[in-house]
Structure 1
Amino acid sequence: MDPRQARTRSALRAAIYELAAAQPIADVSVAQVARAAGITRDTFYRHATTPEHLLADFLGEEIDALMAPIATLPATSGTELSVFDEPERALLRHVARHAQIYLNSMAPRLTGPVRDTLVDRVEAGLLTHLERHPEIAPPAQPGIDPERHRRILVAYAGGGTVSAIEEWLRSGDLADVDAAARTIIAASPDWWLGRSRS
């Protein structure tokens, strides 16, 4: 990325985060973002189609960095903790850090682009883990091919995780990330978790 484009991206990130923290994302206009970022509307449209999509794009970049370690997780933790303990906490810390942005993206669920970004990123991490460790999954049911089986398992876990995050956001009490992470992990089937039993 050339320096000018990097500066524009940085200005857009700061602008959309500030605006989305101050008001519902559905009320943020392209003109507001362009003005706050010091760019033209045409420049905005070279980066996103709507303020919601721009916000989702920047949040997605952060989540990608958080989810990257999932690609190297072992099948089992070697402890009583889940292999997903730290990735789950990292994701929830991200949500808590941007709590007002996420809250302003809810009506009553997260807006489409923001929700899709969370679901897509969580599912991508889980799919990578399952592809690396296919032995952890329960056997496919008759009539379901192995690829569809994996995708159903991932979709259920990813969608459930994001729905749990939405409920956590609605609670208004985001102080205890560890408790929220433990609760989400407790709702997950044992075969996903990779705990070592003594």
Structure 2
Amino acid sequence: MSSTSTNRTDPRYIRSSELLRNAILELSKHHRPDDISIAELTKVAGISRGTFYSHASTPAELLANVLIEELSPRFSRISSLVHDSTNTYLLRWRDIYIDLLIHVHNHRSIYKHIFIDKPESIALGYLTTYFRTVIQEYVLGFAAHNEEPPTPLWLTMATEQQVHNTIVIITSWLETDMQTSPERAMNTFMSLVPPWQLAKLSEDGRIYLRRTRTLHSMLSSSTEAK
């Protein structure tokens, strides 16, 4: 999302990136990212305005970049999840979202500014775009294993539905002050999730739209956080 072409291996770029990362994370704990000015950010980071523009165009974009860089190694796993073995598919899908909620919890004050404060933050738009890109790969992989090729409308709706659900999971958890564990939060969501997202891969690699014993076992077991 950087606004200019830069050498990301340059020690000066790496140093300024770390300074900006620390500054935007600290400022965003106390302020809505859209309310943070470039002047304030660069002063806290101790860099020039020109250097800032080699990293992002706005503080909100910079914050989104930083958060996406941190959560991506965890959440991007969902794009290839359909290739996991039959017995672990749902558990690993659930674990990816649990990791996402742990990430949110680690930056809870920041995510509250992004997801709950009004008007809606620009940073939320960048995060939504990231979720859509990864989830679209997941849906396309799912579709490739389906018994009947889904229509373009189904693919679009399925992608947008899961993007919306991802935002709902995060927002609902934040709005309830994260009073439940990430595990319990995901069990609650999975009791409400549409059937196609709980599909099971058969031995021949096809997908059948039916609820599974794995789901029942997860929802009936005690998974409250330590």
Would you say same fold, with TM above 0.5? yes
Contact 2:32 2:113 in 1 (8 A): yes
Aligned partner of 1:158 among 152, 163, 176: 163
Letter in 1 for 2:185: A
Counterpart CA distance in 2 for 1:82 and 1:192 is 12
SS class of match (1:22): coil
Contact 2:81 2:89 in 1 (8 A): no
Residues 1:124 and 2:133 aligned together: yes
Mark the structure with the bigger radius of gyration.
2
Q: 1:46 to 1:131 in 2, by over 3 A?
A: same
Q: How does 1:78-89 map to 2 (within 5 A)?
A: 78=87, 81-89=90-98
Q: How does 1:158-197 map to 2 (within 5 A)?
A: 158-173=163-178, 176-195=181-200, 197=212
RMSD: 2.5
Counterpart CA distance in 2 for 1:106 and 1:72 is 27
Farther-moved stretch of structure 1 (149-158 vs 100-109): 100-109
Q: 1:27 to 1:109 in 2, by over 3 A?
A: closer
Counterpart CA distance in 2 for 1:162 and 1:190 is 19
SS class of match (1:74): helix
Counterpart CA distance in 2 for 1:14 and 1:80 is 36
Aligned partner of 2:42 among 31, 34, 40: 34
Name which structure has the greater RCO, CA cutoff 8 Å, separation 6+.
1
Which residue does the alignment assign to 1:6? 14
Q: 1:107 to 1:180 in 2, by over 3 A?
A: closer
Aligned partner of 2:79 among 62, 65, 71: 71
Counterpart CA distance in 1 for 2:20 and 2:89 is 43
Q: 1:39 to 1:120 in 2, by over 3 A?
A: same
Counterpart CA distance in 1 for 2:179 and 2:107 is 11
Which residue does the alignment assign to 1:90? 99
| Deviation, structure 1 residue 80 | 8.8
Normalised by the length of structure 1, the TM-score is 0.84
Farther-moved stretch of structure 1 (67-76 vs 24-33): 67-76
The gaps in structure 1 that reach 5 residues or longer are: 141-145
Query: Cα deviations across residues 75-95 of structure 1 (Å, max 9, x unaligned)?
Result: 664159444111111111111
Counterpart CA distance in 1 for 2:147 and 2:173 is 28
Which residue does the alignment assign to 2:222? none
Counterpart CA distance in 2 for 1:56 and 1:22 is 16
Q: How does 1:19-30 map to 2 (within 5 A)?
A: 19-30=27-38
Which residue does the alignment assign to 1:143? none
Counterpart CA distance in 2 for 1:185 and 1:37 is 42
SS class of match (2:56): coil
Farther-moved stretch of structure 1 (173-182 vs 13-22): 173-182
Counterpart CA distance in 2 for 1:137 and 1:13 is 46
